[in-house]
Chain A
Amino acid sequence: MNNNPYLPEMATVQEVITETGNIRTLRVTLDNKERMDQFSFRPGQVGQLSVFGTGESTFVINSPPTRKDYLQFSVMKTGEVTSRIHQLNAGDKVGVRAPLGNGFDFEAMKGHDILFIGGGIGMAPLRTLLLYMIDNRADYGDITVIYGARSPKDLCFTYEFADWRAGNVNLVLTVDAEFPGWKERVGFVPTVLNEEAPSPNNRLAVVCGPPIMIKFVLFNLKELGYEDPQIITTLEKRMKCGIGICGRCNAGSKYVCLDGPVFSYDQIRAMGGEL
């Protein structure tokens, strides 16, 4: 990154993938080839994507550092910047400020069994770590993924589920209600979690999804015997500067943009503040 942390690097959209009705995935490359080659980050770190004239928004870089042909961002259309991002096509210019934030402590996770629990767009931050682990499969034990969405149409990354499974991942897919042609599980994520009941022994749970899902997943994880430090999540907040200065994304004295977005539940409890 240059010496002005507010100045984005120019980048080009290489490909746009329509994931669901309101989620699109952008694959972008930095225009400065040398920078792109040298670009290094940790899974879970985020980037500020800018559309000049509309603004910036924060997204996790959901491609893993082990696959650097492009940086991938998945964007749900919710506000002004995301709506504008949804209008972008291959070849369009964007700005990128990345990597920002802390990322997952994938080193400390080595040797553990891993349980990913994702809901809807919440699979994006998990994907980067999941792919990283698949690419370093020997370092990790059992990898189970419980991924759910309202309906099959609302699942992201459907085109690579087969690859995940081929990477020796126990992928449990679920949707909220029966759907014609749906052959996987039916039921809310927290319920499916209880049915699967992966043992907490030597296991870390990485959770991301809508607040209501998180709430019940947390409850069920505790019931299953998971302790706070074993539960890891990525927080979301309205962000502007992305570098721990502008003030809005704090929870207690921690800034989600700088000290996060990845926190374990014991950390979240210790920092207090509004979520």
Chain B
Amino acid sequence: MLETDRNQLHKLVEEALPELDMVIGWGQSTDSFQTTPVFVRDAKQISQLTLGPFCSQNLTGYLVKPPALDAAPKEGAKPIGICVKGCDSRSLVALIQEKFLTRERVRIFGIPCRGTVDWNKVGKLVDLSNVKSATVEEDVLVVDDSQTTHRIKLEEVLARKCYGCRYPNPLIQDVTIGEPATPRSTSIESSYRDVDRLDAKPLEERLDFWQSELDRCIRCYACRNACPLCVCQDKCIIESREPRWLTQRVGIPEKFLFHFIHAMHLAGRCTGCGECERACPMDIPVTLIKEKLNKIMEERLGYSAGLDVEAVPPLLTFNPGDTEI
């Protein structure tokens, strides 16, 4: 099935490429299993493009981050093609909502997603240090570590975000590759199980949890830079020199401040794509902070970011007559 989808992707990209500046998609990294973003400008590169459960990166950030590919395109500039999964498409919607992009700027290759692999989880089951090959056969991940061939159920090693995913199919797209996927979750309740589990604990325990998790933070800002909606980038408040809000120290207070500023700046904007958590070298569940805010947004304001291009994010507007504020 993957093979068919990949062929379809190649064919569609080949057809569209002459009208496009480039197509951003996933390709194989130097590793046998992880993917790396590829920027296809030339038909010769099309064969590099791949799809499937290894394509974890959300590529939409490349459209808006410096050096943005072409943030303010010249008139007549060709659109940029981009491959998106369901969750990635929500980032795209949010970026269009916030006017970082116009819909016409992008040609969207929508890819229904059955979940992406979290290699940290696979690493608990298989020694990943010398993997010869990794492939997917239907719902099974097959890893050959040069001694044994391991067969692992994909469902057991997906990224945390995937288990609560309500939108595996792109919400915005020009073409679809493959068959639609079935959502793993259809309700707020089943989407925020991890938040609820943590919320059920007493306050002290939650504090302990976050202290011990965030203590590992090395302030590399991979979470921030991987986030497609962290659009301030080089102007980030965290690194501002004047005024200097945050010291260079690496104590818990600094780490808390950074992560909670990061989360607050995403309140009502985060689409839950999980890039921050995936990018973290220290395995800190940073998306969970944003999930908590997302849950509040849904429960209190009935709003989920990145679902509707026309919707106005509630925190980007205000009504002087609002009695709730």
Contacts and interface: CB of A to CB of B under 8 A. Distances in A.
Interface string B257-289: 000000000000000000000000000000000
B44 interface: no
B241 interface: yes
Nearest to B242: A80
A32 to B, nearest CB: 31
B67 to A, nearest CB: 15
Nearest to B244: A80
A79 B242 CA distance: 8
B253 to A, nearest CB: 20
Interface residues of A, dominant DSSP: helix
B244 to A, nearest CB: 7
Contacts, number: 6
Contacts of B244: 80
Contacts of B242: 79-80, 83
Interface residues of A, number: 3
Interface in A74-116: 79-80, 83
A80 B242 CA distance: 6
Interface in B135-158: none
Interface in B232-248: 241-242, 244
Interface residues of B, dominant DSSP: loop
A238 to B, nearest CB: 11
A79 B241 CA distance: 8
A80 B245 CA distance: 13
B165 to A, nearest CB: 43
A79 B240 CA distance: 11
A81 to B, nearest CB: 9
B242 to A, nearest CB: 5
Contacts of A80: 241-242, 244
Contacts of A83: 242
Nearest to B241: A80
B148 to A, nearest CB: 45
Interface in B119-136: none
A77 to B, nearest CB: 12
A162 B241 CA distance: 41
Interface in B168-208: none
Contacts of A79: 241-242
A79 B244 CA distance: 12
A265 to B, nearest CB: 29
A80 B241 CA distance: 7
A83 B242 CA distance: 10
Contacts of B241: 79-80
A41 to B, nearest CB: 29
Interface string B289-303: 000000000000000
Interface in B211-265: 241-242, 244
A252 to B, nearest CB: 22
Nearest to A80: B242
B266 to A, nearest CB: 28
B233 to A, nearest CB: 19
A80 B239 CA distance: 13
A80 B243 CA distance: 8
A74 to B, nearest CB: 21
A221 B55 CA distance: 55
B306 to A, nearest CB: 37
A125 B216 CA distance: 46
Nearest to B243: A80
B238 to A, nearest CB: 16
B234 to A, nearest CB: 14
A50 to B, nearest CB: 16
Interface in A207-234: none
A85 to B, nearest CB: 14
Interface string A119-163: 000000000000000000000000000000000000000000000
B275 to A, nearest CB: 29
A68 B242 CA distance: 35
Interface of B: 241-242, 244
Top 6 A-B residue pairs of the complex, sorted by shortest distance between their CB atoms: A80-B242, A80-B241, A79-B241, A79-B242, A80-B244, A83-B242
6 contacts: A79-B241, A79-B242, A80-B241, A80-B242, A80-B244, A83-B242
Interface of A: 79-80, 83
